[in-house]
Amino acid sequence: MELSFRDCHTEICHMDLFVGNIPHDVEKTELVEFFEQFGSVLDFKIISRGKHPNFGFVVFNNSEPVQKILSSRPIELFDNVRLNVQEKKTRSPREVEGRESEGRRMVRYPDAHQLFVGNIPHDVEKPELMEFFEQFGSVLDFKIICREKHPNFGFVVFNDSEPVQKILSSRPIELFEDVRLNVQKKMTCSPREVECGDARPRPGAPRGGGVRGPSSQGGGTNKPSLGSFE
């Protein structure tokens, strides 16, 4: 039976797996050999990290190993090392083309397609965050607001609202074993609030402190007041 381009693309999407919590001393060849027990491995791309565990993507020659691994979770590399394996979402050629053109013009994204992301370590860069969130859906952009004394924060933009809801229902979201991201719905301020916020703090706004996850005692989240992310 002849497959359409859409069918082929869907099949390709299901060949990749996101793999997190990879120890620094584990090499690509070792990971390839480990995943060969599930099926034929074509490649393994590792994103190296400094202070935190590495992560990457394993590519199989068909979708059967992917489904086998997902249904066999948890996956333990060693007795004391549990890998974080998730299905990787792949963008269509149309989405890739749109993403390239968006770099040449200002784009207003719907709030329903965005998430506030707090507690981002200073040594984590935009490409790494985009790679991480690709496991949930197609990422169009990630804007990071850098701070000196406190963790960074930012906004991740997806091509639709489904990944946003998936992430919110999957909280807590751990970037690494010791780093829990603070993910929240993106709230839009009015132009007047943004203008006032640029000049002075709003009355009653929290002072100091980093961007943290929800308090276990029911407190609110210290989230900066920002305008719409474009």
Q: What pLDDT sits at residue 33?
A: 94
Candidates 116, 218, 90; CA nearest to 168 is 116
The neighbouring-strand residues paired with 54 are: 22
Query: In which order are the strands placed within the sheet that holds 41-47?
Result: 41-47, 54-60, 16-22, 81-87, 75-78
Q: What pLDDT sits at residue 128?
A: 85
Q: Could you tell me if 121 and 91 are in contact, meaning their C-beta atoms sit under 8 angstroms apart?
A: no
Q: Give pLDDT tens digits for 1-37.
A: 343 434 444 444 458 888 988 999 999 999 999 999 9
Q: What pLDDT sits at residue 143?
A: 92
List domains and CATH numbers for the chain: 5-87 (3.30.70.330), 93-199 (3.30.70.330)
Does the predicted model carry a pTM greater than 0.75?
Answer: no
Q: Could you tell me if 168 and 137 are in contact, meaning their C-beta atoms sit under 8 angstroms apart?
A: no
Per-residue confidence of the chain (230 residues) as pLDDT tens digits?
343 434 444 444 458 888 988 999 999 999 999 999 999 999 998 988 777 888 888 999 999 999 999 999 899 998 888 998 887 765 544 444 444 444 445 567 899 999 999 999 998 888 889 889 988 988 999 999 999 889 999 999 999 999 999 999 999 999 887 889 999 998 865 444 444 444 444 444 444 443 333 333 444 444 444 444 44
Q: What pLDDT sits at residue 28?
A: 93
Q: What pLDDT sits at residue 196?
A: 41
Q: What are phi and psi of 166, to 5 degrees?
A: -65, -45
